[in-house]
Chain A
Amino acid sequence: MKDLTQSLLDTEDEVMLRDAARGFLADASPVSALRANRDAGRAHDPALWAEMAQMGWTGVLIPEDAGGADMGHRAAGILAEEMGRVLAASPYLSTAVIAASVLRQAGPRGTGALQAIAAGEATYALALDEGPKFAPATTALKAERQGNAFRLSGVKAFVADGSTAGRVLLLARTSGMPGDTEGLTLFDIDADRAGLQRQALSTIDSRDHARLVFDGVTATGDDIIGDLDAGLAALRPGVQAGQAALAAELTGLAGGAAAITLGYLKERKQFDRTIGSFQALQHRAAHLWSEIEVTLSAIANAGRVLDATPDDAALAVSLAKARAAQTAKLAVSEAVQMHGGIGMTDAYDIGFFMKRARVGAEWLGDYGHHAAIIAAARGF
């Protein structure tokens, strides 16, 4: 029997995980739950997060001795894909994927935090972007040394889960100039720390994003993850895991939008015919399906590579994110167009897919960012 962890096919365990996730999310977090959250002015439902913790999803990337299920990045991607399919909103990416991957590398300091994440008690936000594009090296937010402590001042412009998370992973400049890849340091601080002001943003995807203003927030050496001035290295496992899982979410989103659209094409009648019988629409649906199939391979590959050779995963991760951003864009554009007028209404769900796809395309690096990494890796 072939060892399927060497292939891009789902193993038996992965098939079971996917089925279980799909079944659970269909009941617990259909798209209507996102609508209900939005209408209630709530970014996500803490009860859903608690249920995810009970199923071990919060500990998907956390070692068993810290209370996690340690299922690996491919499994984390499968969960993200299923969440994307129904637009389930939760701190999963920020906390269970990004923060867990960072803290896992943080030695004994991280163990307590990992236990809290696995138990569903701690949530995290990654405070990185200061401008409209993902570019960690341009970080300007200052961490000035004051004796044994640091004084943090500056603004993080776009922080996913930033207004609700209990803790913040913060990239700050301890030396050098914006643009330098060195001189950055990663801090892990309580979100309630004095001088940290969190302004919730009203974003198109109805999820929690915030602007974080640091006005002389105090941090100590104990708050540092990894080494002083080596924050990008400490951050890398989290960013790559997050990019891969976000790519999976976007591809699940594309599949979800395509499935709803296909259902509509098979049902809607015009000119006394089911519109899905028109070849013009059939070819577009078939092309979209092809693009999703191809992207699914890049998603599976990124998970496998992160599990097998995490130090050599840059190409695989960027390929997944680049393809996923393009594919999700195509899927939601086609979905709205093929729905016609009803696709433009707020009462119909498909618009939610379009809005989340746009946010996901930007977060953690857009198509151009990742295509450039691929081009460099491929000898352009």
Chain B
Amino acid sequence: MSDATEALAAFRAEISAWIIDNCPAALLGRPMDESAIVWGGRNWTFADDDQRLWLDRAISRGLTAPRWPVEYGGAGLSRAQEKIYREEMARIGAPPPLESFGLWMLGPALLEFGNPAQKAEHLPPITRGEIRWCQGYSEPGAGSDLANVQTRAEDMGDHWLVNGQKIWTSYADKADWIFALVRTDRDAPKHKGISFLLMDMDTPGITTRPIRLISGKSPFCETFFDNVKVPKKNLVGELNRGWDIAKYLLTHEREMIGGGASGLLGGRSIGQILAAQDGNVLADPILRAEAMQAEVDALAFNLTMGRYKDQAEAGRGVGNASAMLKYYGTELNKRRYELLMATAGSDGLEWDGAHGGLAPEWLRTKANSIEGGTSEVMLDIIAKRVLEMPGQ
């Protein structure tokens, strides 16, 4: 074994022992439904003391943000170490101690584009679960055409004055801060007049209204900005260059959404799940054939996720090909939930039945191929950026 391999093996042993010693036993192997997720924030209430204990211990070890620098509350792990950490967490069945848009999206953006003061102010509270962030991108007139954002931030000398409306803001009603795309130059071409702005949701003039979805749930909100005064220091990166940050984060988000959809439903095959629901249904030749096809595609897609991940780890970027992961993974997930519903039959039709959780999940998957860029936008990106097909 090389020194590097030996060091990683030692790290695996150490981190595995740490997880086992520190993750409360009651949390191990618990199904990851919505109540099991710790989002954090000013108004967060833990479901139980175990969740709080696990978060505190993870914070003390920097493991809420494994790859972030230690000075900002991370653990400073290498990519290889982080992979091992996640593998050990999954193997042991320990839940993530904290999930948040701050960890997934704002943090990486600040690490790449933020100034030292912004990093020092915002990153540590994210790692400690003290501040919960939401993302203000889409607007009623800026969906797929995201660069058409109209929410304005005017330079008032000592502050920005923000007016406008965002939509599809995930958990805006529960978030403490928002990172948003705002228009700072109305005369420039649309991609070149956008800036990336951070706002405290407690600032006067910001209101939110949850949107009830077809699944009966309201994870998304409309967010209104009415003469909101924002400190000048809250602009990230260069003025009018916010689109660069947005693109960086969208690539990140696409990999995440595609990846989240790829897990073969917790490692079990679609066939095993369907058989568990009702052993007889797989005898239906058409359902069976569809399930087999979905399994073939899911297995090959999972291998592709691994290949792309390895490519990123080898220092060769995935770039615009991430649009494929998002497109393929989300379409696959929708197929899988159609199969689950078809197998459940009338048992899957009640909101609160034996399969009570299924219908809302099935309905929720319909958004997978819309949020973070529609499937059609992903195909546009592949055609134009990967295949270099001509413009209109």
Chain A interface (Cβ < 8 Å from any Cβ of B): 1-2, 4, 7-9, 262, 265-266, 274, 276-277, 279, 282-283, 285-287, 289-290, 293-298, 300-301, 315, 319, 322-323, 326, 371-372, 374-375, 378-380
Contact of A282 among B272, B307, B380 (CB under 8 A): B380
Name the distance in Å between B304's Cβ and chain A's nearest Cβ.
Answer: 4
CB–CB A266/B389 < 8 A:
yes
CB–CB B307/A289 < 8 A:
no
Known: A7-B310, A266-B389. 14 other contacts (CB 8 A): A7-B307, A7-B314, A276-B389, A277-B392, A283-B379, A293-B324, A294-B328, A297-B304, A297-B307, A300-B307, A315-B299, A374-B295, A378-B295, A380-B282
CB–CB A287/B379 < 8 A:
yes
Q: A4-B314, A7-B310, A279-B380 are in contact. Are A378 and B271 (CB under 8 A)?
A: yes
Q: What residues of A have a CB within 8 angstroms of the CB of B389 in the complex? A: 262, 265-266, 276-277, 282, 285
| Residue among A2, A283, A375 with the highest chain B CB neighbour number at 10 A | A375
Contact of B314 among A2, A375, A380 (CB under 8 A): A2
Q: A8-B307, A8-B310, A282-B379 are in contact. Are A289 and B386 (CB under 8 A)?
A: yes
Task: Identify which of B24-32, B119-127, B285-293 touches chain A.
Answer: B285-293
Pull 28 A–B residue pairs with CB atoms less than 8 Å apart, ordered by A.
A2-B80, A7-B306, A8-B303, A9-B314, A276-B389, A282-B384, A283-B379, A283-B383, A286-B379, A286-B383, A287-B379, A290-B324, A293-B304, A294-B297, A298-B299, A323-B297, A323-B300, A326-B296, A371-B289, A374-B292, A374-B296, A375-B271, A375-B288, A375-B291, A378-B269, A379-B269, A380-B275, A380-B288
| Residue among B304, B379, B383 with the highest chain A CB neighbour number at 10 A | B383
**For the complex, would chain A's binding face be called helix, strand, loop or mixed by DSSP majority?**
helix
Q: What residues of A have a CB within 8 angstroms of the CB of B269 in the complex? A: 378-380
Chain B interface (Cβ < 8 Å from any Cβ of A): 4, 80, 269-272, 274-275, 282, 288-289, 291-293, 295-297, 299-301, 303-304, 306-307, 310-311, 313-314, 321, 324, 327-328, 376, 378-380, 382-384, 386-387, 389-392
Q: What residues of A have a CB within 8 angstroms of the CB of B289 in the complex? A: 371
CB–CB A371/B292 < 8 A:
yes
Name the distance in Å between A158's Cβ and chain B's nearest Cβ.
Answer: 25
Q: What residues of A have a CB within 8 angstroms of the CB of B282 in the complex? A: 380
CB–CB A8/B383 < 8 A:
no
Contact of B301 among A4, A294, A300 (CB under 8 A): A294
Q: Which residue of A lies closest to B80 (CB)?
A: A2
* 8 nearest CB pairs, A to B: A380-B271, A282-B383, A286-B382, A378-B269, A297-B303, A8-B307, A297-B304, A7-B310
Q: Which residue of A lies closest to B328 (CB)?
A: A290
| Residue among B282, B390, B392 with the highest chain A CB neighbour number at 10 A | B390
Q: How far is the CA of A100 from the CA of B179 in the complex (A)?
A: 61
Q: What residues of A have a CB within 8 angstroms of the CB of B288 in the complex? A: 375, 380
Q: What residues of A have a CB within 8 angstroms of the CB of B328 in the complex? A: 290, 294
CB–CB A294/B311 < 8 A:
no
Name the distance in Å between A248's Cβ and chain B's nearest Cβ.
Answer: 14
Q: What residues of A have a CB within 8 angstroms of the CB of B271 in the complex? A: 375, 378-380
CB–CB A286/B295 < 8 A:
no
Name the distance in Å between B53's Cβ and chain A's nearest Cβ.
Answer: 36
CB–CB B293/A371 < 8 A:
yes
Name the distance in Å between A169's Cβ and chain B's nearest Cβ.
Answer: 29
Q: Which residue of A lies closest to B311 (CB)?
A: A9
With contacts defined as CB atoms under 8 Å apart, how many contacts are there between chain A and chain B in the complex? 128
Q: What residues of B have a CB within 8 angstroms of the CB of A301 in the complex? A: 303
Name the distance in Å between B276's Cβ and chain A's nearest Cβ.
Answer: 10
Name the distance in Å between A307's Cβ and chain B's nearest Cβ.
Answer: 15
CB–CB B310/A9 < 8 A:
yes
CB–CB A375/B292 < 8 A:
yes
Q: What residues of B have a CB within 8 angstroms of the CB of A7 in the complex? A: 306-307, 310, 314
Q: How far is the CA of A262 from the CA of B383 in the complex (A)?
A: 10
Contact of A277 among B295, B304, B390 (CB under 8 A): B390
CB–CB A319/B307 < 8 A:
no
CB–CB A294/B376 < 8 A:
no
Q: How far is the CA of A287 from the CA of B386 in the complex (A)?
A: 12
Q: How far is the CA of A246 from the CA of B122 in the complex (A)?
A: 54
Name the distance in Å between B123's Cβ and chain A's nearest Cβ.
Answer: 29
Q: What residues of B have a CB within 8 angstroms of the CB of A380 in the complex? A: 269, 271-272, 274-275, 282, 288, 291-292, 295
CB–CB B376/A378 < 8 A:
no
Q: Which residue of B lies closest to A322 (CB)?
A: B296
Name the distance in Å between B91's Cβ and chain A's nearest Cβ.
Answer: 18
CB–CB B296/A323 < 8 A:
yes
CB–CB B382/A379 < 8 A:
no
Q: How far is the CA of A262 from the CA of B382 in the complex (A)?
A: 13
Q: How far is the CA of A4 from the CA of B389 in the complex (A)?
A: 32
Q: How far is the CA of A285 from the CA of B383 in the complex (A)?
A: 7
Contact of A289 among B313, B324, B392 (CB under 8 A): B324
CB–CB B376/A283 < 8 A:
yes
Name the distance in Å between A3's Cβ and chain B's nearest Cβ.
Answer: 9
CB–CB A289/B387 < 8 A:
yes
Q: How far is the CA of A31 from the CA of B369 in the complex (A)?
A: 39
Q: Which residue of A lies closest to B269 (CB)?
A: A378
Q: Which residue of A lies closest to B293 (CB)?
A: A371
Q: How far is the CA of A315 from the CA of B296 in the complex (A)?
A: 10
CB–CB A9/B307 < 8 A:
yes
Q: What residues of B have a CB within 8 angstroms of the CB of A2 in the complex? A: 80, 310, 313-314
Name the distance in Å between A51's Cβ and chain B's nearest Cβ.
Answer: 32
Q: What residues of A have a CB within 8 angstroms of the CB of B390 in the complex? A: 266, 274, 276-277
Q: A2-B313, A285-B389, A380-B288 are in contact. Are A297 and B275 (CB under 8 A)?
A: no
CB–CB B310/A372 < 8 A:
no
Q: How far is the CA of A295 from the CA of B304 in the complex (A)?
A: 8
Q: Which residue of A lies closest to B382 (CB)?
A: A286
Name the distance in Å between B381's Cβ and chain A's nearest Cβ.
Answer: 8
Q: What residues of B have a CB within 8 angstroms of the CB of A287 in the complex? A: 379
Q: Which residue of A lies closest to B299 (CB)?
A: A319
Name the distance in Å between A86's Cβ and chain B's nearest Cβ.
Answer: 20
Q: What residues of A have a CB within 8 angstroms of the CB of B293 in the complex? A: 371
Q: What residues of B have a CB within 8 angstroms of the CB of A286 in the complex? A: 378-380, 382-383, 386-387
